[in-house]
Structure 1
Amino acid sequence: MGIVIGFAFRDIAENFLASLLLSLRRPFTRGDLIKVADKLGIVQSMNTRTTVLLSSEGNLIQIPNSMVFKNIIHNYTASSSQRDIIDLGIGYDASISDTQSIILDLLSEHEALMQDPKPLVLVDNLGAATVNLKIYYWFDGKTLDRLKLRSSILRLLKRRLMEEGISLPDDAREIIFPNGVPVYLQNQSNLETPTISTTSTLASHEPAKEVSSTVTASEGNLTNERQEIEATAEVDLNQDCKNLLSNP
């Protein structure tokens, strides 16, 4: 009977002990954005059995405390300073040093980015059709949203680089002509010389103009949406279970 009862209450005891250890170590608090066991969400509560997360889709995720304790915890809001990376490919005809200076100037002008540590623009590798750069920048992760800020920077990067004449080529592609390519020889006088139109259908046109503002109406604002997600989801947690987490 002791063995049967031990197996029956093993998970309960394991989750209870894990909840005590987590409440002592405090790897996260209520309102933190964490990722554990491949689940990303905002911490809502932790009782003696589970830790409750709220996903960006408004779904409640209950993870057993023993699983939380045993897995790697990514806390994205424990530190206010966070770093993000943007990959960018420029043409081989562009000057790398000039492009780095242009990007650094743009990042220094962006009011939402931190300047200590300073942003970096490094050459990652030489691709088939592009010189691939990596752009590193820091921001306040507690107040700003990573996706919104990334959208703002990419939009401004595209605008500034096109204004400066920096080419952003597509990946190299192989073009196949199944019927061959017609060739006209100059010494064949009996062949008609093909006429070349002065107006090509593939003529380059003016690129679409981008606004220079840091935030557009479609991006809303750059602040995070944790409070909006919680309010929209109308989270109703079981009040019978004591919350072992303290508010941030």
Structure 2
Amino acid sequence: MPYLDTLNNQWLAMTRGIVASLPNITMALVVVLLTWFVARYAVRIADWLTGKSTLRADLQNLIETVVRVGIWVVGLLLAATVAIPGFTPGSMIAGLGIGALAIGFAFQDIFENFLAGVLIMVRDKMNIGDAIEADGISGTVEKITLRETHVRQFSNELVIVPNSQLFKNRVTVLTDAIVRRDEVLVGVDYEADFDAALAAVKRGMAKVEGLDPAREPAAYVREFGASSIDILAQWWVLSGSHDMRVVRTEVMKGIKRELDAAGIGIPYPHVTQTFADAVPLRTVAEAA
């Protein structure tokens, strides 16, 4: 039957083609195997070299990943060239055509986060272990990858943030310096003496442990408030070794103690009500 002959001829032709390409396929497999060996030892060499440097840990991981991926890309292209005669990277890109554009749009966010991750690692401003505030997130950086950053919030929840979000928005690194300034607003009676109040506030801060001895605490009259004279108290904390919340508590306790000792009160808010017309008043007995 003619169609059986046709199928038989096609089968024989395909079999001959597979047999003829076996040497090329074998060579391609050898190239893949060599690529595996080269990538493995190249990563070890890169790890040894970066281990002797002062590069941050995530940047070392980036270099190892780039080395591994680069070697595998080159190796697979060589294997495809050996296995498929006439194959070139240019012909592959041309063959994809509009598909390459569609893939680019589909992976746009991934590429954006990847590039942002590389730039975050290279500029070396935010490191693992830093406390940060970014876009409503406050916590400690636990891990930086090529696509995302893991932030452990101070309330112990883990937040996974895309790198592009950290790169494009403002990030406050709270632990960039080992000394940080803190402040509190203190209200005192209008009857209080300015100089005595300022001196009491300074004494209250000076006795607190954890302040930077190289910078004296400062106190300034801020404004005339609705019911008090507002004094701005500022101090510098050794935040690398002391909890700022604890130091702030001790400062406020010290200020209150010194103001009490000086006989200076911290007034409650006063409210003055004015009526346009006379208001009838009655005594308690009359009301009863």
Verify same fold: TM over 0.5.
Answer: yes
1:85 matched to 2:183: yes
Q: CA deviation at 1:71?
A: 1.1
Runs of 4+ in 1 over 6 A off after TM superposition: 175-179
Q: Deviations over 1:91-120 (max 9, x none)?
A: 011011111112212222222211322211
Matched, 1:58 2:156: yes
2:114 matches 1:38: no
- Does 2:92 align with 1:7? no
| Equivalence map 1:67-106=2 (5 Å) | 67-106=165-204
SS of the residue aligned with 1:173?
coil
Higher helix share: 2
- Looking at structure 1, the residues matched to 167 and 240 of structure 2 have their Cα atoms a distance apart, in angstroms, of 24
Amino acid at match of 2:253: R
In structure 1, stretches of 5+ residues that fail to align are: 183-248
Report deviation, 1:65: 0.4
Q: Deviations over 1:56-107 (max 9, x none)?
A: 1110011100111111110111101100011000001101111111221222
Residue 106 of structure 1 aligns to which amino acid in structure 2?
G
Q: Is the 8 A contact 1:76 1:141 kept in 2?
A: no
1:196-215 map, 5 Å: none
Aligned to 2:205, the other structure's residue is in SS state helix
Question: Out of 81, 94, 113, which is 2:211 matched to?
Answer: 113
CA distance in 2, matches of 1:179, 1:52: 66
**SS at 1:113's partner residue?**
coil
Q: Report SS of the residue matched to 1:143.
A: coil
Give the CA deviation at 1:4: 1.9
Name the CA distance, whole Å, in 1 between partners of 2:140 and 2:282.
59
Q: Give the match for residue 25 of structure 1.
A: 123
SS across alignment from 1:63 = strand
Change (3 A) 1:9 1:80: same
* Unmatched 5+ stretches in structure 2: 1-98, 284-288
Residues 119 and 137 of structure 1 are in contact (CA less than 8 Å); yes or no, is this contact kept in structure 2? yes
State the SS of the aligned residue for 2:252. Answer: helix
- Compute the displacement of 1:175 (Å): 6.3
How far residue 36 of structure 1 moved from its aligned partner, in angstroms, is: 1.3
Structure 1: distance between partners of 2:261 and 2:142 = 46
Task: Label 1:146 to 1:111 Cα distance change in 2 as closer, same or farther (>3 A).
Answer: closer
Q: Following the alignment from structure 2 to structure 1, what is the Cα–Cα distance between the partners of residues 249 and 273?
A: 32
Contact kept? 1:108, 1:115, Cα under 8 Å:
no
State how many pairs are aligned: 182
Q: Which residue of 2 aligns with 1:130?
A: 228
8 Å Cα contact 1:36/1:72 also seen in 2: yes
Question: Paired residue for 1:180?
Answer: 281
Question: As a proportion of its length, which structure holds more strand?
Answer: 1
Structure possessing the higher radius of gyration over alpha carbons: 2
Give 3-state SS (helix, strand or coil) of 1:114's partner: coil
The equivalent residue for 2:88 is none
